[in-house]
């Protein structure tokens, strides 16, 4: 079956512009996670959805970051007024909600010039 997909795979933007990153989880997976991996760093937790609600937004780095999930499926991570330090690979993962395993997408590489 289809895995987690993310789009775009690469995004280059200018400082100050807004960007939207999309995640399509595996069908039926109730939990969805966003992570960020900066160069040479581990995965940094950003936000977690259970269904359409986000019980834990503690990882969002600033109020420029927001995320939503609709229909218990697709999720969008929005970064407003991008800064150079936002450059990273943004990874999305989903899980069935009962188990501990997460299934990751290939990521979106964001470059802010």
Partner 1 sequence: DQQVKQNSPSLSVQEGRISILNCDYTNSMFDYFLWYKKYPAEGPTFLISISSIKDKNEDGRFTVFLNKSAKHLSLHIVPSQPGDSAVYFCAALYNFNKFYFGSGTKLNVKP
How buried is 27 (Cβ within 10 angstroms: 0-12 exposed, 13-18 middle, 19+ buried)?
exposed
At closest approach, how far in Å is the CB of 74 from partner 1? 17
In the list 25, 34, 35, 77, the residue contacting partner 1 (rule: CB under 8 A) is 35
In the list 4, 21, 26, 60, the residue contacting partner 1 (rule: CB under 8 A) is 4
Should residue 91 be labelled a site residue for partner 1 when binding is judged by CB under 8 A?
A: yes
Question: Taking a C-beta distance cutoff of 8 angstroms, is the pair 47, 54 a contact?
Answer: yes
CB closer to partner 1 out of 2 and 100: 100
CB closer to partner 1 out of 80 and 102: 102
CB closer to partner 1 out of 10 and 78: 10
Question: Taking a C-beta distance cutoff of 8 angstroms, is the pair 19, 13 a contact?
Answer: yes
At closest approach, how far in Å is the CB of 63 from partner 1? 21
Rounded to 5°, angle at Cα 64 from 59 and 27: 60
CB closer to partner 1 out of 13 and 50: 50
Should residue 31 be labelled a site residue for partner 1 when binding is judged by CB under 8 A?
A: yes
């Amino acid at each position: 079956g289809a895995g987690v997909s993310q789009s775009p795979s690469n995004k280059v933007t200018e400082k100050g512009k807004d960007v939207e990153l999309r995640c399509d989880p595996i069908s039926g997976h109730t939990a969805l996670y966003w992570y960020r991996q900066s160069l040479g760093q581990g995965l940094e937790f950003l936000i977690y959805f259970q269904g359409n609600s986000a019980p834990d937004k503690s990882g969002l780095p600033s109020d420029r970051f927001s995320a939503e999930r609709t229909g218990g499926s697709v999720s969008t991570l929005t970064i407003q007024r991008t800064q150079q330090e936002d450059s990273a690979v943004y990874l999305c993962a989903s899980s069935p909600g009962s188990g501990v395993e997460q299934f990751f997408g290939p990521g979106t590489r964001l470059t802010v010039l």
